[in-house]
Amino acid sequence: MKPTTGLAPRTLTDTPRRTLWSACAAHILHDGYADLIYVLLPVWQAEFGLGFGALAVVRGLYTGSMAVLQVPAGSLAKRVGSGTVLSVGMALAALGYALAGFSAGVVGLCVALTLSGCGSSTQHPIASAAISHAYGKDARRPLGIYNFSGDLGKAAIPASVSLLISVMSWRHALWIVSAVGIIGAIGLVIFFPAIRGTSTSTVPQQPMPRGRGGFALLFLIGVLDTGVRMGFLVFLPFLLKGKGASLPTIGAALSLVFIGGAAGKFVCGWLGAKFGVIGTVLTTETGTAVCILAVMLAPLYACLVLLPLLGVMLNGTSSVLYGTVPDLTPPHRTERAFAVFYTGTIGSGAVAPIAYGFLGDSIGANGATIATAVTAMLILPLAIALAPYVVQSQR
């Protein structure tokens, strides 16, 4: 690959493909760690005698620390190097779970998960920006692959730990998965390509692109899209239970949604690159609203058939949105833009279920579920308003 001239932040000392696969490996481990908490919550409830409110706090400490440190992590990467921060973050995330295995009480568990969340805050902004720098204008499809890889971790790591817990204590299982993370951190030190550090004092500043104002619209769309996804998933088990679904059926139904979501990230990333951002967002958000209402109204078995398609629509938009961040941001601010964007979406994922939950208490699960579909439709005019900015940024 020839070095990029003019704009030094886009210069890599290794191949784009190596950047992509290193970032995907980090994404698999970090997203697997994030969803591993769901498997461990019942274990910790029994071990430490926690109520549902306390369990929500335990999960919130991990998610909250991961969300609020996105921007600082991106800024730190500019100073000390992306590979260094990414590998240290992986090590901290692994160490946090190792310490959770040693915890003798709730306080120790909370400290350990906060540390792990701090480590996981490094991955999204740094890896996304590295892929954007490596591929330049062709980054949309690689970013779709990168986003898809996170779902592989969400499927593999929690399932693997569930199997380990069936044959050993949960503490030993956490130490094993932590060791995998330490190996991953060492691998990032070895394989993640070096990005030549620069600062705004040494790099000629590129004028802000004409699509500047579009980033605010993109950010709002991302926040609402994540809120729809997380809000609906709160009520899906109750909708299925109301249709007569057993607990194993509900578990299988959730798996169908997640499988469809993984496929949606990959497919929609490709569709966005081929057919355009706005058309893809309009399609997926309309499809989300229609599928949510169809799942509400359909009998159980028809509902199960619809769930993979719903998963595609729920998750597909995110790949297109992430791939658009570099288009609306000057190259020297890509890391910060990704950090801000991920802060908003991860924060929305933490807050939206609470907001929709209170709404469900007021108007019922069906009413709150309809509200998620309405929110998806509210994204449509925002996407239309975003269209001129996307066109301007591509000229």
pLDDT at 209 over 50: no
Domain identity same for 68 and 169: yes
Domain identity same for 225 and 178: no
Q: Tokens representing 385?
A: 């308003």
How confident is the model at residue 31, as a pLDDT? 86
Domain identity same for 86 and 222: no
pTM of the predicted model, to two decimals? 0.71
Burial (0-12, 13-18, 19+ Cβ within 10 Å), 222: buried
Is there a domain that residue 98 lies in?
yes
User: 9 vs 101, 194, 205, 394, CA distance in Å?
Assistant: 40, 12, 11, 19
> How far apart, in whole angstroms, are the C-alpha atoms of residue 112 and residue 249?
34
Mean pLDDT of 129-145: 80
> How far apart, in whole angstroms, are the C-alpha atoms of residue 306 and residue 81?
45
Domain identity same for 154 and 230: no
Q: 1 and 15 in contact (C-beta within 8 Å)?
A: yes
pLDDT higher at 354 or 279? 279
Is there a domain that residue 337 lies in?
yes
Domain identity same for 234 and 361: yes
Q: Which segment of 191-205, 208-222, 257-271, 284-298 scores lowest on mean pLDDT?
A: 191-205
Q: Which segment of 168-177, 204-213, 252-261 scores lowest on mean pLDDT?
A: 204-213
- Of the three residues 191, 223, 256, the one that is the final residue of a domain is 191
59-73 per-position pLDDT tens digit: 778 888 888 888 788
Is there a domain that residue 331 lies in?
yes
pLDDT at 222 over 50: yes
Q: Which of 100-114, 183-197, 247-261 has the highest mean pLDDT?
A: 100-114
When pLDDT is cut at 50, 70 and 90, the band that residue 206 belongs to is very low
When pLDDT is cut at 50, 70 and 90, the band that residue 40 belongs to is confident
Is there a domain that residue 209 lies in?
no
Domain identity same for 303 and 248: yes
pLDDT at 155 over 80: no
Domain identity same for 232 and 165: no
Question: How many domains is the chain partitioned into structurally?
Answer: 2
User: 197 vs 20, 84, 163, 347, CA distance in Å?
Assistant: 19, 12, 43, 29
- Of the three residues 158, 191, 224, the one that is the final residue of a domain is 191
How confident is the model at residue 56, as a pLDDT? 66
Is there a domain that residue 201 lies in?
no
When pLDDT is cut at 50, 70 and 90, the band that residue 207 belongs to is very low
pLDDT higher at 65 or 7? 65
> How far apart, in whole angstroms, are the C-alpha atoms of residue 213 and residue 209?
9
pLDDT at 120 over 70: yes
How confident is the model at residue 203, as a pLDDT? 40
How confident is the model at residue 53, as a pLDDT? 63
Domain identity same for 133 and 41: yes
How confident is the model at residue 118, as a pLDDT? 92
Q: Specify the residue for token string 């609306």.
A: 328
Domain identity same for 223 and 362: yes
Q: Specify the residue for token string 């100073």.
A: 79
CB proximity list for 333: less than 8 A, separation 6 or greater: none
> How far apart, in whole angstroms, are the C-alpha atoms of residue 286 and residue 363?
24
Mean pLDDT of 324-351: 79
Mean pLDDT of 319-348: 79
3-state secondary structure of 319: helix
Is there a domain that residue 9 lies in?
no
> How far apart, in whole angstroms, are the C-alpha atoms of residue 73 and residue 76?
5
Q: What is the DSSP letter of 298?
A: S
Angle at 333 between CA 30 and CA 185, to 5 degrees: 25
Mean pLDDT of 38-47: 80
Q: 224 and 378 in contact (C-beta within 8 Å)?
A: yes
Q: Which residue type occupies 377? A: M
305-319 per-position pLDDT tens digit: 999 999 899 888 887
Domain identity same for 114 and 45: yes
How confident is the model at residue 52, as a pLDDT? 58
CATH number at residue 314: 1.20.1250.20
User: 123 vs 127, 202, 220, 264, 354, CA distance in Å?
Assistant: 6, 26, 22, 21, 25
Domain identity same for 173 and 226: no
Taking all residues of the chain, what is their mean pLDDT, rounded to a whole number? 81
How confident is the model at residue 205, as a pLDDT? 44
- Of the three residues 176, 191, 206, the one that is the final residue of a domain is 191
User: 110 vs 30, 65, 99, 113, 157, CA distance in Å?
Assistant: 18, 11, 10, 5, 21
From the list 251, 376, 267, 235, the residue with the least C-alpha distance to 304 is 251
pLDDT at 210 over 50: no
From the list 390, 381, 376, the residue with the least C-alpha distance to 323 is 390
Instruction: State the sign of the Cα–Cα–Cα–Cα dihedral 219, 224, 229, 231.
Output: positive
Q: 193 and 12 in contact (C-beta within 8 Å)?
A: yes
Q: What is the chain's percent helix, strand, coil content, to nearest 5?
A: 85, 0, 15
> How far apart, in whole angstroms, are the C-alpha atoms of residue 4 and residue 76?
23
How confident is the model at residue 211, as a pLDDT? 47
Taking each continuous run of H as one helix and of E as one strand, the counts in the chain are: 14, 0
pLDDT at 340 over 50: yes
When pLDDT is cut at 50, 70 and 90, the band that residue 394 belongs to is low
Domain identity same for 351 and 253: yes
Is there a domain that residue 5 lies in?
no
From the list 233, 348, 222, 362, the residue with the least C-alpha distance to 295 is 233
Query: Which structural domain range is residue 120 located in?
Result: 15-191
> How far apart, in whole angstroms, are the C-alpha atoms of residue 352 and residue 230?
7
Is there a domain that residue 105 lies in?
yes
